[in-house]
């Protein structure tokens, strides 16, 4: 080869894009956020060799951050979902706990007697707001069994937000006055009612499950052995459907029907699809994360999720779709199996209600869910109560409760060192204007629970905080990354992939491993 040809060949090679310098892929037409309620990263290692569908695809082809966290104190469904696409902590989104989530009696459900719900408490913006700012034609669809899991990933900007209520998917009058035709048609198929009288049996032979079929503490010994029968009474079956695997299958089905009807991802705009699958949470509470029931349901969900991904790819090309998968919180094993215990602020709440509500013939809204004892402090002060003195007395009483490790008051939380990890988590949970008396943390292996027969999450203990954070995007190979990241990083990262800018200051960061060095 002559010098001129060699030089030309070298120049050609130098101009050929490499994986690190290649032009970024086109802006996606569909961004998909999948949240699996109570999913823990351990399941991908424990059952990874058995996964063949969606979990396998995310676990092997995805960019998997194995030390993902919900980085706040009350690790419940509502605050957890509020972080997924907002890029902010619950102290910023205003969603402190489940009880302070989406309940809204002024927004009744359409065609159902269930509790009304809306995003009225949600503060600030999220990914869908940022998409709309860049393109007013962007659409969103959010679907879940739970109202708070459908509502909070979207925030206040969404319109097509649907959740389960007694045999059908619906929404509240916050969003619409009638259901769209496609959803009415889907409900008319009566998919849930057709499960009446059927059994949840094992997907594989019993010998394939190393877990015992039952433990005496599971559900207090009631219905803790396979098969699990769905009631022959349709009304009872529909009311209990959240406990059975098919809830997730039908949630995925209604989401796919919505994508088809709304033409998401096919109109030359970037649309958002948010799906929250809630049965892992129901099974985890009832049987625990180490149960045969959990093993079997995860195998089923893996298959259904794989079929969903394949079906979605028929509607929207894979090369135009980006995915994120995570969870709203983790979970702890049954404390009876783990050397732990059960703690409760309920006795203290009852004492306070007896001492103050009855005395003043009113309610001061004392509530003690997941370690945060809240009250209407303004009303207490208006009646001459020395709230500072009351707070100190309540803190002393809370510190004596079994399982309680530390107790913060508003004053001690404010004074705590920035390096105090427990204080940091509570600061990221409680909005500045929230009225509260004490915030308590538990010793490891303890859970907040008033009674036996179930296990829980909600604490600052690491098993409750750990969640998988996984991205699937065209052109990026799968790998595992051990550095700690948080669910607040998901929204900014998806925004960067969609090439839109957040419209407010975020605590979450763009994950460079997902975006690539070219960005």
Q: Is residue 405 part of a domain?
A: yes
Distance separating alpha carbons of residues 79 and 93, to the nearest angstrom: 8
Confirm if 248 and 212 have CB atoms less than 8 A apart.
no
The CATH number of the domain holding residue 49 is 3.40.720.10
User: 25 is written with which tokens?
Assistant: 């892929």
Q: Is 261 exposed, middle or buried (0-12, 13-18, 19+ CB in 10 A)?
A: middle
Note the pLDDT tens digit of each residue in 290-324.
Answer: 999 999 999 999 999 999 999 999 999 999 999 99
Q: Is residue 414 part of a domain?
A: yes
The CATH number of the domain holding residue 347 is 3.30.1360.150
| Nearest Cα to Cα of residue 498 among 20, 34, 127, 87 | 127
Same domain membership, residue 433 and residue 320: no
Same domain membership, residue 138 and residue 68: yes
Show which of 395, 416, 444 is a domain's final residue. 444
User: 412 is written with which tokens?
Assistant: 């001690």
Same domain membership, residue 56 and residue 146: yes
Same domain membership, residue 330 and residue 413: no
Q: Walk along the chain (519 residues) and give the pLDDT tens digit of each residue.
A: 443 333 333 333 333 333 444 445 679 999 999 999 999 999 999 999 999 999 999 999 999 999 999 999 999 999 999 999 999 999 999 999 999 999 999 999 999 988 999 999 999 999 999 999 999 999 999 999 999 999 999 999 988 999 999 999 999 999 999 999 999 999 999 999 999 999 999 999 999 999 999 899 999 899 999 999 999 999 999 999 999 999 999 999 999 999 999 999 999 999 999 999 999 999 999 999 999 999 999 999 999 999 999 999 999 999 999 999 999 999 999 999 989 999 999 999 999 999 999 899 999 999 998 999 999 999 999 999 999 999 999 999 999 999 999 999 999 999 999 999 999 999 999 999 999 999 999 999 999 999 999 999 999 999 999 999 999 999 899 999 999 999 999 999 999 999 999 999 999 999 999 997 655
Distance separating alpha carbons of residues 115 and 203, to the nearest angstrom: 35
- What is residue 357's DSSP assignment? I
Same domain membership, residue 42 and residue 66: yes
Please count the structural domains in the chain. 2
Say what the pLDDT of residue 25 is. Answer: 61
pTM over 0.75: yes
Query: Domain limits at 402?
Result: 341-444
For 34, 202, 252, 313, 359, the CA distances from 309, given in Å and listed in that order, are 11, 24, 10, 6, 59
Same domain membership, residue 351 and residue 232: no
Say what the pLDDT of residue 475 is. Answer: 86
Same domain membership, residue 439 and residue 378: yes
3-state helix, strand, coil in the chain (%, to 5): 40, 15, 45
The distance between the two most distant Cα atoms of the chain, rounded to a whole number of Å, is: 101
| Nearest Cα to Cα of residue 368 among 389, 386, 392, 395 | 395
User: 209 is written with which tokens?
Assistant: 């499950």
Checking 346-350 for CB contacts under 8 A at 24+ apart, the result is 346/450, 347/401, 348/373, 348/394, 348/397, 348/398, 348/401, 349/373
In order, the DSSP letters of 251-296 are HHHHHHHHHHHHTTT-SSS-EEEEEEE-HHHHHHHHH-TTSHHHHH
Say what the pLDDT of residue 26 is. Answer: 76
Same domain membership, residue 358 and residue 321: no
Same domain membership, residue 276 and residue 144: yes
Say what the pLDDT of residue 24 is. Answer: 57
Say what the pLDDT of residue 73 is. Answer: 98
Percent of the chain with pLDDT over 90: 92
Same domain membership, residue 282 and residue 264: yes
Note the pLDDT tens digit of each residue in 120-134.
Answer: 999 999 999 999 999
Same domain membership, residue 203 and residue 95: yes
Note the pLDDT tens digit of each residue in 46-57.
Answer: 999 999 999 999
Residue that is written with structure tokens 């998988």 in the block: 468
Q: Is residue 173 part of a domain?
A: yes
User: 123 is written with which tokens?
Assistant: 């503060």
Q: Is residue 7 part of a domain?
A: no
**CA dihedral of 424, 429, 432, 434, whole degrees rounded to 10:** -140
């Amino acid at each position: 080869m002559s010098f001129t040809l060699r030089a030309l060949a070298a120049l050609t090679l130098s101009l050929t894009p490499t994986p690190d310098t290649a032009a970024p892929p086109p802006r996606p037409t569909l961004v998909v956020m999948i949240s699996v309620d109570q999913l823990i990263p351990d399941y991908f290692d424990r059952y990874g060799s058995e996964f063949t569908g969606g979990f396998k695809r995310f676990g092997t082809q995805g960019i998997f951050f194995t030390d993902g966290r919900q980085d706040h104190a009350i690790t419940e469904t509502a605050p957890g979902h509020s972080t997924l696409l907002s890029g902010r902590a619950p102290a910023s989104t205003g969603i402190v706990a489940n009880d302070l989530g989406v309940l809204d009696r002024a927004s009744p459900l359409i065609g159902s007697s269930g509790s009304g719900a809306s995003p009225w408490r949600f503060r600030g913006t999220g990914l869908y707001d940022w998409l709309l700012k860049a393109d007013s034609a962007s659409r969103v669809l959010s679907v879940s069994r739970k109202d708070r899991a459908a509502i909070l990933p979207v925030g206040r900007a969404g319109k097509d937000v649907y959740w389960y209520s007694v045999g059908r998917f619906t929404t509240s009058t916050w969003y619409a006055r009638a259901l769209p035709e496609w959803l009415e048609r889907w409900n008319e198929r009566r998919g849930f009612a057709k499960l009446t009288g059927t059994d949840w049996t094992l997907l594989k032979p019993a010998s394939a499950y190393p877990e015992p079929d039952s433990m005496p503490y599971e559900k207090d010994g009631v219905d803790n052995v396979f098969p699990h029968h769905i009631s022959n009474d349709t009304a009872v079956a529909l009311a209990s459907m959240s406990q059975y695997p098919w809830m997730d299958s039908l949630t995925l089905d209604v989401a796919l029907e919505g994508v088809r009807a709304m033409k998401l991802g096919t109109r030359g705009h970037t649309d958002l699809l948010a799906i929250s699958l809630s049965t892992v949470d129901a099974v985890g509470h009832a049987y625990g994360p180490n149960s045969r029931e959990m093993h079997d349901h995860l195998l089923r969900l893996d298959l259904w999720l794989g079929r969903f991904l394949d079906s979605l790819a028929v509607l929207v090309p894979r090369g135009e779709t980006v995915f994120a998968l995570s969870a709203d919180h983790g979970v702890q094993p049954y404390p009876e199996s783990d050397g732990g215990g059960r703690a409760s602020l309920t006795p203290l709440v009852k004492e306070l209600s007896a001492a103050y509500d009855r005395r003043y013939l009113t309610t001061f809204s004392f509530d003690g869910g997941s370690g945060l004892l809240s009250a209407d402090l303004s009303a207490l002060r208006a009646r001459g109560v020395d709230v500072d003195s009351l707070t100190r007395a309540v803190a002393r009483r809370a510190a004596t409760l079994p399982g309680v490790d530390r107790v913060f008051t508003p004053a001690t939380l404010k004074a705590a060192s920035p390096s105090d990890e427990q204080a940091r988590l509570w600061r990221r949970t409680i909005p500045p204007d929230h009225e509260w008396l004490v915030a308590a943390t538990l010793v490891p292996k303890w859970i907040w629970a008033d009674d036996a027969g179930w296990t829980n999450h909600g604490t600052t203990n690491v098993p409750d905080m750990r969640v998988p954070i996984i991205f699937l995007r065209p052109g990026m190979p799968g790998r595992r990354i051990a550095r700690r990241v948080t669910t607040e990083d998901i929204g900014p990262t998806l925004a960067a992939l969609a090439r839109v800018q957040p419209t407010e200051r975020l605590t979450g960061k763009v994950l460079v491993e997902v975006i690539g060095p070219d960005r």
